[in-house]
Structure 1
């Protein structure tokens, strides 16, 4: 089983900051006590002398989210529940339940309203919905969510006209956030389109005489530290667009206790665009590294590129950019690259094996997790923005969160929700939310960034063909593959010429 929360990471993300004490969840509260809970007495905020709560029914957890005139849930609980509840109930349905409960409890469907009571309740429901829009703004892309928000405020506004002003301010801020998110997603789509179109194998057959327009990474940037900085720019840009809900919605399945036939989210509404784009970036960087190594016709040049990327990987490690580090190592370990024994023999590789050891998967990536804890500690005690950077190996983070989601989604035999797992998931995702908010301190180099996103890369077949062109096949299997690949490239080239000719 993957490890989840690191000892050095005890902070919890909330809309207004980070609560260092997210309490363990509690056993289900006594129904008689739910009518008038004390301030901040919920599953995420157990009394010091009370037993720790580990589970509760979904209805009880929803009830703990509902504010009253005398009660408001802890910020940590709000984040934890809004994050994980979507495994069982969609955000619109949850908001319907929340509003219906508020209307009944506060008698908001009665006339006249109890003005004194509503004035105590009003600021609390506004605060809760504001926190929701701040932390999970994409939930409010659906008009139904905004409509429910407006409706509940419409019911309490007769008691204080200031509620309308607050609502308008919240919605204005929300619209600005959603516009920024949409713009970010559009830019990712454009970058992805240019990356996909950059896959090119036609250069392989001309390795001895590469086209003069074909550039390589060393002609764009020959300083490892500078390239590591620009890679960090790309990583942090991707991280900034990923919402916390994507980590849960990526794994949403149908709740077995739900009588409907559909999961909480359709495939269209999972909204994991940014998460998927980040995974594609990792894969592109792997292939770009492999392409740059396999491209040069001369062994000395290939060895030089290997040494360059080793130095880039080391700088990424020093920065705290573990995702680019792992992508570079993965690219250098791809079979078309690793088989280039003569090339590797000419390169100085001592530093590479040290870095490889750091990212060794043995012991559930024990060495990497130790290094990550060190980076987290450095970030928490940082004296500069550069020291705050923590970019985790994303695929492993996804794996960890997948298993946490599995634990969250599995109900207990009595039908209760395993809320203690919610807390673990919130800690892990909350930690990520801290890291993604760091602004990149390095100066942007547009030419390098453009190259990273658009430089032609070989497909896997193209890499093998380039590799065989560099160092001849050593056995019959490789010879057969080489022959098949060359034949395939010739056919594709002929079809391409015929297409352009017509």
Structure 2
């Protein structure tokens, strides 16, 4: 790695001691997120989508390189930093951009070189702010630390800005560490609960109203949603495709992967949460042998899904409906006879799969427009159905080629994917809620034991005996 960073030393060939640069103040960086003003951005070189449809990766990296009067626009910068990982490792992109930037200032005047490096620091601030998880990679963080030392040697007045960037990055990485430790402790508690008789209570005893339950689900959703990095939606499929390719080429020799090892699994944890909630619902129902208790719980969960709908917490709403539609609950005919079925059917219509979930998509679009109208202020949030989001990313990823026919990068694909993730996912992570957090309820929801499919079915048969030959055969198998 030291060889890769040799060119950084070229910074020290210029002596800045005779001239100082005006550092960007911490106040400015904090208040503006270290963004350029819109007016200044518009004065820069136009980098609309059509400018980059036939660029090689080398040429696209050149566009990232700043000059004294140029910084790539946010649209291009976000698209490039997010999607280039499909074709080049972020650590290699970081190194090449650093070396090209340093090389570009060697023949500049001191004033030009300082302005260029200030613009380069802006790019670094955007990278660390928008994709901080990239720097969990030891190679990336080592390169960043080494580069910052060289930049400070070149111009000591840069130290305040660089310290601020590094401090904000460390806070984000520490927040990730804390989140992962929190999940680890929850998993330990869940395993501990498996060894205890934890089926003597239910969610109604722990949480008296469906509205309170929906609010606590929203806290859980936002905890997990906000922890997911934008890049994870792309890395998820990169790793999936790489794994499939590796399995298919076991007898053809190994193939070097273009991407870094995935070191963050917040997306996978979010998927696991959806699955847990889906199984939590039928577990709470079928652990009761009394029909009256089951009816009460089914109605409770229907009301909760309805509350989630009105809160625009679509992920929890659909998880609850999915749980109610699992066969161990769906087959309980005598229980469903006493249920407010019309409300449930209305909820099912919202997630009708016909026409590619067109009803859900319309409701989600209107909810997002409402949140945008109120600038995503507290309690004006939208929590999307994660599976649809992933489905749409997968569609973009697989229905267009990474390269054009002349082997240049298909930047239209980069832009489409970045636009979708920015508008349909990133903005939802801005969501905030003012509901009081009830940790007792939250801990019950996320640590109480849940049955697997076979256990759910067996418990369901204990609630209402099998009624046909198929169910009787299934029951016999499960009893063995």
2:398 equivalent to 1:406:
yes
Distance across 1 between alignment mates of 2:267 and 2:232: 7
Shift of 1:106: 1.6
TM-superposition CA deviations, 1:174-226 (whole Å, max 9, x none) = 112211111111112222344466568x9xxxxxxxx7971111111121111
Whether contact under 8 Å (1:292, 1:305) holds in the other structure is: yes
Whether contact under 8 Å (2:278, 2:323) holds in the other structure is: yes
Q: 1:160 aligns with which of 142, 155, 160?
A: 155
Whether contact under 8 Å (2:371, 2:382) holds in the other structure is: yes
TM-superposition CA deviations, 1:423-467 (whole Å, max 9, x none) = 221122112112112222110011110110111211111110111
Seen in structure 2, the aligned counterparts of structure 1 residues 121 and 315 have a Cα distance that, compared at 3 Å, is same
Q: 2:258 aligns with which of 252, 261, 264?
A: 264
1:215 counterpart SS class = coil
Whether contact under 8 Å (2:274, 2:315) holds in the other structure is: yes
| Alignment of structure 1 residues 307-386 onto 2, 5 Å | 307-382=299-374, 385=377
**How many residues end up aligned between the 2 structures?**
434
Tell me the TM-score normalized by structure 2: 0.84
Seen in structure 2, the aligned counterparts of structure 1 residues 86 and 218 have a Cα distance that, compared at 3 Å, is same
TM-superposition CA deviations, 1:255-287 (whole Å, max 9, x none) = x9xxx9322335xx2134110011111111011
2:456 equivalent to 1:463:
yes
Q: 1:115 aligns with which of 110, 113, 116?
A: 110
Q: 2:211 aligns with which of 187, 211, 225?
A: 225
2:173 equivalent to 1:178:
yes
Seen in structure 2, the aligned counterparts of structure 1 residues 234 and 325 have a Cα distance that, compared at 3 Å, is same
Q: 2:132 aligns with which of 131, 137, 147?
A: 137
| Alignment of structure 1 residues 25-424 onto 2, 5 Å | 40-41=44-45, 43=47, 45=48, 53-107=52-106, 114-195=109-190, 198=193, 214-252=200-238, 253=241, 261-265=255-259, 269-382=261-374, 385=377, 387-407=379-399, 410-424=402-416
2:471 counterpart SS class = helix
Distance across 1 between alignment mates of 2:325 and 2:199: 28
1:102 counterpart SS class = helix
**Aligned-residue CA RMSD (Å):** 2.7
Whether contact under 8 Å (1:42, 1:64) holds in the other structure is: no
Distance across 2 between alignment mates of 1:150 and 1:340: 61
Distance across 2 between alignment mates of 1:17 and 1:280: 35
1:73 counterpart SS class = coil
Larger mean Cα displacement after TM superposition, 187-196 or 124-133: 187-196
TM-superposition CA deviations, 1:303-352 (whole Å, max 9, x none) = 11111111000000000000000000000000111111111112121100
**Is there any run of 5+ residues in structure 2 with no aligned partner, and where?**
1-31, 246-253
Tell me the TM-score normalized by structure 1: 0.80
Distance across 2 between alignment mates of 1:430 and 1:289: 32
Whether contact under 8 Å (1:407, 1:421) holds in the other structure is: no
Whether contact under 8 Å (1:194, 1:453) holds in the other structure is: no
1:68 counterpart SS class = coil
Larger mean Cα displacement after TM superposition, 274-283 or 294-303: 294-303
Seen in structure 2, the aligned counterparts of structure 1 residues 484 and 184 have a Cα distance that, compared at 3 Å, is same
Distance across 2 between alignment mates of 1:464 and 1:197: 24
Distance across 2 between alignment mates of 1:302 and 1:188: 30
Larger mean Cα displacement after TM superposition, 430-439 or 154-163: 154-163
Shift of 1:474: 1.5
Seen in structure 2, the aligned counterparts of structure 1 residues 196 and 364 have a Cα distance that, compared at 3 Å, is farther
Shift of 1:407: 4.6
Matched with 1:474 is 467
Whether contact under 8 Å (2:131, 2:230) holds in the other structure is: yes
Whether contact under 8 Å (1:287, 1:458) holds in the other structure is: yes
2:436 counterpart SS class = coil
Q: 1:452 aligns with which of 445, 454, 469?
A: 445
Seen in structure 2, the aligned counterparts of structure 1 residues 88 and 212 have a Cα distance that, compared at 3 Å, is closer
Shift of 1:114: 3.7
Larger mean Cα displacement after TM superposition, 425-434 or 287-296: 425-434
Matched with 1:491 is none
Whether contact under 8 Å (1:181, 1:241) holds in the other structure is: yes
Seen in structure 2, the aligned counterparts of structure 1 residues 307 and 299 have a Cα distance that, compared at 3 Å, is same
**Is there any run of 5+ residues in structure 1 with no aligned partner, and where?**
1-13, 21-37, 203-210, 488-502
Distance across 1 between alignment mates of 2:399 and 2:72: 24
Matched with 1:494 is none
1:244 counterpart SS class = coil
1:410 counterpart SS class = coil
Whether contact under 8 Å (2:378, 2:432) holds in the other structure is: no
Shift of 1:155: 4.6
Structure with the higher helix share, 1 or 2: 2
